[in-house]
């Protein structure tokens, strides 16, 4: 039976027989194999006898897959406590070093690795990233489960386009080259698979609200699709979002939940993926060395995570944020590309100024102007702002977008009419306000933005196995 390399390294026991399987990371002096099976960052050293069959030795190349039977022994060499003294080596999969892309490039760049995303799992960096991603996903479910939330699966195909007008991917089985037409020339969707126009979801929130009106505490964690053509280091066309929705919560409860949640999952990763995070921390430190002094971050990755877990997030209103920006040296020296005045949607340069230069910690901004936010956010008493909350994180910008929802039927329908959202089509959403409405609140956290933050990677394409971005759906 196969033993995982992680278990052998962790236990530090010696003098027992094992079988290990994995991929060769290096092979020195025709004797020392570093074998990695992805169970942890570290490879194990396997030592083969000098009398090993030459035909086999020739096939022990970087990237080859081996099965090794042997005995775990205390290691005499530096760098490891135990090693496997091999008794039998079986080649499971050969790997031609003349052709293996990871072998050909010495220190391949992240950009290059994106082009060979099917192989990049084999690198230390991506092994660490995807183990951390897994741990975060697990921690998210654990956080909500421990608090009695119900995990709700909201639909991926949806007919409502309330939120994402113009940014959605259409789902259709109509022939693209010759779709059935109405008399006025428009496409006749009644002949489509669902008998109407459908799209991939941009958010599970509206459906989650329906669940919260009975189960009280629910969350979704699923794929989300946005056809926005924003080719940035923080946007994907397909990403994963976590959306808790809680009956009886107001905006302050919502902020508390989001802050507790983010701290919990970061702490969980720090406790359970220390080796991976330390490696990623070093990687980031090296990347930072390439930057000019004044652009380097003041904290290393581990320090930053520690800091976030141990300090309160700053809480300010949108109006405060605008005033801080107007008072800033950056504004006075005309460093901002976009205009700053009450009413603007905060641009990424503004968000980054607030979190990276001014507060140097995560910031929760509340009370945004109603005109730049969605129809379902609860109107504040001033009639100008809504109970929205965005959480901005250093190096990332917006990581969470949420709000207390408008539970008052008259206010909600008025807002929908003002924003030209069809109230008849959305009867099912409005029914929650007709039949036993209550105050409630929720938020959406972009999973990949969280993984970016925790892993210290800088491009969102490097924290999802196979990124979907404009003009790119390879693999
Ligand atoms: P942004 O202003 O960064 O585009 P948004 O205002 O469109 O974000 P929301 O609609 O509030 O974002 O979505 C909730 C969360 O989902 C965001 O806070 C972010 O973490 C994440 N998110 C949004 N769009 C994307 C995307 N294209 N790729 C990855 N994550 C995203
Ligand atoms: Mn967006």
Mutate to test the pocket of ligand 1, among 446, 450, 451, 453 (most ligand atoms within 8 A of CB): 446
Which ligand is the nearest neighbour of the Cα of 448? Answer: 1
Spacing, Cα 441 to ligand 1 middle (Å): 18
Residue 160 has a pLDDT of 77
Angle between helix axes 447-455 and 251-272 (nearest 10 degrees) is 50
Take residue 302 and report the two structure tokens written for it. Answer: 């581990």
Q: What distance in Å separates the CA atoms of residue 97 and residue 45, rounded to the nearest whole number?
A: 20
> What residue ranges line ligand 1, CB within 6 angstroms?
226, 235-236, 239, 241, 398-401, 444-446, 448-449
Q: Which residue lies with its CA nearest to atom 5 of ligand 1?
A: 401
Residue 322 has a pLDDT of 98
Spacing, Cα 143 to ligand 1 middle (Å): 22
Q: Which residue lies with its CA nearest to atom 30 of ligand 1?
A: 446
Residue 77 has a pLDDT of 81
Q: What distance in Å separates the CA atoms of residue 59 and residue 52, rounded to the nearest whole number?
A: 12
Q: Where are the domains of the chain?
A: 5-100, 122-167+202-462
Residue 199, Cβ neighbours under 10 Å: how many? 20
Give me the count of residues in the chain: 475
Which ligand is the nearest neighbour of the Cα of 372? Answer: 1
List of residues 6+ apart from 425 with CB closer than 8 A: 160
Mean pLDDT by 10 residues, the chain (475 residues): 96 95 96 97 96 96 97 90 97 95 86 95 97 98 98 94 72 95 95 95 96 98 92 95 98 98 98 97 94 83 95 98 96 95 95 94 97 96 97 94 98 95 93 97 98 97 97 93
Residue 76 has a pLDDT of 84
Cα distances from 361 to residues 57, 166, 314, 364, 397, in angstroms, run: 53, 34, 7, 10, 11
* Range 5-100 classified under CATH 2.40.50.140: yes
Mutate to test the pocket of ligand 1, among 444, 445, 460 (most ligand atoms within 8 A of CB): 444
Which ligand is the nearest neighbour of the Cα of 243? Answer: 1
The arrangement of secondary structure in 122-167+202-462, i.e. its CATH architecture, is 2-Layer Sandwich (3.30)
Q: What distance in Å separates the CA atoms of residue 158 and residue 174, rounded to the nearest whole number?
A: 17
Residue 166 has a pLDDT of 62
Q: What distance in Å separates the CA atoms of residue 10 and residue 46, rounded to the nearest whole number?
A: 16
Take residue 338 and report the two structure tokens written for it. Answer: 């976009």
The four Cα atoms 279, 281, 285, 288 give a dihedral, to 10 degrees, of 120
Residue 161 has a pLDDT of 65
Residue 298 has a pLDDT of 78
């Amino acid at each position: 039976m196969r033993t995982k390399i992680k278990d052998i390294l962790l236990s530090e026991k010696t003098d027992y027989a094992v079988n290990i399987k994995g991929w060769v990371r290096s092979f020195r002096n025709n004797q020392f194999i570093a074998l990695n099976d992805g169970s942890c960052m570290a490879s194990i050293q396997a030592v083969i006898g000098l009398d090993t069959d030459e035909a086999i030795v020739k096939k022990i190349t970087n990237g080859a897959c081996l099965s090794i039977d042997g005995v775990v022994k205390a290691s005499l060499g530096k760098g490891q406590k135990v090693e496997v003294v091999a008794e039998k080596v079986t080649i499971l999969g050969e790997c031609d070093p003349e052709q293996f892309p990871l072998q050909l490039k010495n220190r391949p760049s992240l950009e290059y690795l994106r082009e060979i995303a099917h192989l990049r799992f084999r690198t230390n960096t991506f092994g660490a990233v995807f183990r951390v991603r897994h741990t975060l996903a697990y921690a998210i479910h654990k956080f909500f489960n421990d608090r009695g939330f119900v995990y709700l699966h909201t639909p991926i195909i949806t007919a409502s386009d309330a939120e994402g007008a113009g940014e959605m991917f259409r789902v259709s089985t109509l022939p693209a080259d010759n779709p059935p037409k109405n008399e006025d020339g428009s496409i006749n969707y009644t002949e489509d698979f669902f008998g109407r126009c459908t799209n991939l979801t941009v958010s599970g929130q509206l459906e989650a609200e329906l669940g919260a009106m009975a189960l009280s505490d629910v969350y979704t964690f699923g794929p989300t699709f946005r056809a926005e053509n924003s080719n940035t280091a923080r946007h994907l066309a397909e990403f994963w979002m976590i959306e808790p929705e809680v009956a009886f919560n107001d905006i302050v409860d919502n902020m508390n939940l989001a802050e507790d949640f983010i701290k919990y999952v970061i702490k969980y990763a720090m406790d359970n993926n220390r080796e991976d995070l330390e490696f990623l921390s070093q990687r980031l430190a090296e990347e930072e060395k390439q930057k000019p002094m004044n652009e380097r971050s003041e904290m290393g990755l581990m320090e930053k995570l520690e800091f976030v877990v141990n300090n309160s997030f700053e809480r300010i209103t949108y109006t405060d944020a605008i005033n801080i920006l107007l008072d800033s040296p950056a504004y006075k020296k005309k460093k901002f590309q976009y205009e700053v005045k009450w009413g603007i949607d905060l641009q990424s340069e503004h968000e980054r100024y607030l979190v990276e230069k001014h507060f140097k910690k995560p910031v929760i901004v509340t009370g945004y102007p109603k005109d730049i936010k969605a129809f379902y956010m609860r109107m504040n008493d001033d009639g100008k702002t809504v109970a929205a909350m965005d959480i901005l994180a250093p190096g990332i910008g917006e990581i969470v977008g949420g709000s207390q929802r408008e539970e008052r039927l008259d206010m909600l329908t008025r807002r929908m009419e003002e924003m030209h959202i069809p109230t008849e089509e959305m009867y099912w959403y409005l029914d929650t306000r007709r039949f036993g409405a209550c105050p409630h609140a929720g938020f959406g956290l972009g999973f990949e933005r969280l993984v970016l933050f925790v892993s210290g990677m800088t491009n969102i394409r490097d924290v999802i196995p196979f990124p979907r971005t404009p003009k790119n759906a390879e693999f």
